[in-house]
Amino acid sequence: MKTLPALMAVAVLFGSVQLFYAGSGESRAASESPPSSGNYRLVAHGDEASCAVSRGAEISQGLSLLTVAANCRRVLPGVEQAKFWREQDDGTVTFSANGTDPIVMFSVADGDGYESYAPALPLLTLASSGD
């Protein structure tokens, strides 16, 4: 008779552990991957200049290589020097030349893609080009 309560306790413990790991941010983040192509369109609102940006291979946790087209200097001077894409746990993305110091910072936009918040002007959007 004592085995039934012990088995129930083990089942509850096992179920609790499974729930904990299934609901953790790490497992959700691992299942939510960026678009498979990694190709984006960077657009400056106002003059509607745009250019191509490609997210490359991940080189460490949240840090990926980045290819920015040379004509992106028309969108935001200096952004063409960016070589790294860093994605934070909260979904924000930064482009940088050295992996740390941001050139431009994006937050997740309504819908698909990102909107810049630093620098404040020009407002930039980054959306998957689906290529």
Sequence-ordered list of residues with C-beta below 8 angstroms from that of 20, at least 6 positions apart, any chain: none
For the chain, give the percent of residues with pLDDT over 90.
58
Percent of the chain with pLDDT over 70: 71
Per residue in 62-121, pLDDT (tens digit) is: 999 999 999 999 999 999 999 999 999 999 999 999 999 999 999 998 877 899 999 989
Token couple for 52: 């191509």
CATH code, residues 39-128:
2.40.128
Q: ω into residue 5 within 30 of 0, thus cis?
A: no
Across the chain, what does the average pLDDT equal? 78
CA angle 43, 46, 49 (to 5 degrees): 40
Query: What pLDDT is recorded for position 131?
Result: 60
Task: Give residue limits of the domains in the chain.
Answer: 1-32, 39-128
Model pLDDT, residue 46? 78
pLDDT at 49: 87
Q: What are φ and ψ of residue 75, in 5° steps?
A: -75, -50
Nearest to 66 by CA among 2, 24, 126, 120: 126
When pLDDT is cut at 50, 70 and 90, the band that residue 7 belongs to is very low
